[in-house]
Chains A and B, each alone.
Chain A
Amino acid sequence: METLESLLYGFQVAFTPENLIFVLIGVLAGTVIGMLPGLGPISAIAIMIPMSYGMSPASALIMMAGVYYGAIFGGSTSSILLNAPGVAGTVATSFDGYPMAQQGKAGKALAIAAICSFIGGTVGVVALILVAPGLAQVAVSFGPPEYFALMLLGLTAIASLADGSTIKAFIAAVVGLMLATIGIDQQTGTQRFTFGTPELMEGIDFLIIALGVFALAEVGFMIINRKESLFSSWKEVGSLKLTKQDIKELAGPTGRQSIMGFFLGVLPGAGATIASFLAYITEKRIAKDPSQFGKGSVKGVAAPETANNAACTGSFVPLLTLGIPGSGTTAVLLGALLVYGIQPGPLMMNEHPDIFWGVITSMYVGNMILLILNLPLIPYIARALLIPRPLLISLVILFCMIGVYGVSFATFDLYLLIIFGVVGFLMRRFRFPAAPLILAFILGSMMEQSLRQSLTLSGGDWGIFLERPITLLLLGFTALSLIWPLLKQWIAARKRNGNVAA
């Protein structure tokens, strides 16, 4: 009953005309930015943070949730229309979405994407409402050792689940942690790696790293590919209508994948990308006619689209209840929250109910706006892809600059931004994933603090991490996520050998 009351309160917050406009702006901006190849939700959120400075924290976060959803949806739009996923979470959508577009059924694919995103998102929000308060109650009893173990799990999970080389993902995470050590140590007041520079005393602002490593680094690749005409593969969008047969086919995948996607999103490290691939593979496996997949199957678009949105919503669970982000994107959202002066965690539900419930309900509203407004507008919004690349590149650079300058008013930070842009570009070139870096950077100082608090509690005895059941369990999972990539390789090698023998 209490939950229902709070929910109604949340709707009151989300339905003020002001906040409705912010959701709308967020969803539209997110869609446009997410559609641009290379710029995903992390860049979209980082670019939009400066726009939210004057707003109340609740409104700002409401807008950001809209940006997040919009960016995921925008990513699926470019996956379907151009076979150029703007976001890793929508790569699986292009497997069947692009073939559909080539058959002149782009409109239908977009409609399926929007409807499935809506269902996935909505089921996710309901699950979030059911799960979050309980989890927050459990989390209140968490001490520093539990938090440390939890963050360690999140970090190793994202590194071992990253696609590509696991070693490189761990290197990115360690570098992120190293960057977090720059500045004055919170416990002893010692300066670390500041080299006497006053600008570095407070540490590096997360926005500099997020914008540099993601948005600005992407500029380098946009420069290289600037002559590629995006619209060479452009076809008419076609009708948006679905047949009864389509809806029948959709029901199964959306039902299953919205639940599965949500839980994968809750898990640290998993998130939208893995949820969408897993959804695609599962649906293909259980389909009556798997040969249709990859040739423009309705189910092949529905499954990943449902799952990625459900997972996005799921990833808000650890952020809102524990104050710990489980993915690169929620890490940037956490950074944004800290900019607004809010520390999310188990106490947020009681201390800032307007934010907690306002955000949850605005996710619902954001999903609805995506469906009602974005879908018919997509053919027009897609014209953003027509912006000449050279102009777009200059504007993206400027957005990054303004974003950083608006926080610190220091050109020193702008130079740092450029350095991180170069670092991010080289990371992409050498195939290092960037998400573990930003997550590690944001978790870094929290992790160190909880580690040292734990050791202070125990008087320097590391045994404290083995005495508490929850901590032990979490550390067990961490060990598992470290062993998992090795195990995966071993199984693959055995399979290969087995095939050779046969």
Chain B
Amino acid sequence: MTRDRQAALVLVIVSSIYLIFSYRIPSFEIAVMDSDALPIGLGWLLLALSIALFFFGEKKEDNQSQPISRKEWGVIGAVLGSTLVYVFLLEWLGYILVTIPFILGVTALLGYRRWMVNVAVAVGFTGITYYAFNYLLNIYLPQGILPF
């Protein structure tokens, strides 16, 4: 199956779910156009467009987008996972304590081996952004368990 068809099938599911929830929006009698009108219209429109994509999309697979090897998917997944862990720990441990290991870890994970540079960037970037946001811009990044 071509990519366009795969995408079309996913979109049919998405539009169906969206439509189900659109019909569940509580109605409000007085309004000339109620709040569920647009979502319902959009839901049907997306459904129609995804069916159109299924039938009129690319018939042949183009070779322009390069295939991603299993190993590369693994790397992408690992970066994604690290980012999720980062968000999970951010407010708990604080910006400084999660950002430094994040930079060190992700950079090393991606194959960078010059540790001196890595450490310098991790500490420098984290320190400068933390100082700039918390003390110059008054936008408070999470302090976490550190006293400053």
Contact = CB atoms under 8 A, between A and B. Distances in A.
Given A167-B52, A171-B53, A397-B83, A178 B35 contact: no
B107 A391 contact: yes
A interface, by DSSP: helix, strand, loop or mixed? helix
A406 B139 contact: yes
Given A193-B21, A402-B133, A406-B139, A390 B38 contact: no
Nearest to A452: B33
A452 B57 contact: no
A190 B36 CA distance: 9
A406 B130 CA distance: 12
B1 interface: no
Contacts of B145: none
B144 interface: no
A287 interface: no
Instruction: From B57, B112, B140, name the one whose CB has the most chain A CB atoms within 10 angstroms.
Output: B112
Instruction: From B42, B75, B118, name the one whose CB has the most chain A CB atoms within 10 angstroms.
Output: B42
A395 B142 CA distance: 18
29 contacts: A165-B53, A165-B57, A167-B49, A171-B46, A175-B46, A177-B38, A181-B42, A188-B28, A190-B25, A190-B28, A193-B21, A223-B110, A226-B110, A227-B111, A390-B107, A391-B112, A391-B117, A393-B106, A393-B110, A394-B102, A401-B90, A402-B133, A405-B142, A406-B139, A411-B87, A415-B84, A431-B3, A448-B38, A459-B32
B106 A397 contact: yes
Instruction: From A51, A177, A223, A418, name the one whose CB has the most chain B CB atoms within 10 angstroms.
Output: A223
A421 to B, nearest CB: 8
B28 A226 contact: no
Contacts of B86: 401
Contacts of B125: 395, 398
Contacts of A227: 111
Nearest to B114: A388
Interface string A54-72: 1000000000000000000
Contact of A178 (B4, B28, B42, B56): B42
Nearest to B38: A448
Contacts of A406: 133, 139, 141
Nearest to A432: B7
Interface in B114-142: 114, 117-118, 121, 125, 129, 133, 136-142
Contact of A170 (B3, B49, B75): B49
B45 interface: yes
A456 interface: yes
B129 A429 contact: no
Nearest to B34: A188
Contact of A54 (B26, B58, B138): B138
A53 interface: yes
Contact of A174 (B45, B83, B90): B45
Given A414-B87, A418-B87, A451-B33, 7 more contacts: A167-B57, A170-B49, A181-B42, A226-B110, A388-B112, A393-B106, A401-B90
B interface, by DSSP: helix, strand, loop or mixed? helix
A404 B110 CA distance: 24
Interface in B88-114: 88, 90-91, 99, 102-103, 106-112, 114
B46 A174 contact: yes
Interface of B: 3-4, 6-7, 11, 18, 21, 25-26, 28, 31-36, 38-39, 42-43, 45-46, 49-50, 52-53, 56-58, 65-66, 68, 72, 75-76, 79-80, 83-84, 86-88, 90-91, 99, 102-103, 106-112, 114, 117-118, 121, 125, 129, 133, 136-142
B110 A418 contact: no
A168 interface: yes
* Shortest beta-carbon contacts, A-B, top 7: A390-B110, A390-B112, A185-B35, A394-B106, A188-B28, A190-B35, A414-B87
A452 B87 contact: no
A88 B112 CA distance: 30
B107 A394 contact: yes
A178 B103 contact: no
Contact of A422 (B80, B117, B121): B80
Contacts of A178: 18, 39, 42-43, 46
Contacts of A414: 87, 90
B5 to A, nearest CB: 11
Contacts of B140: 409
B102 A398 contact: yes
Contacts of B118: 391
A321 to B, nearest CB: 27
A430 interface: yes
A190 B26 contact: yes
Interface string A430-446: 11100000000000000
Contacts of B117: 388, 391
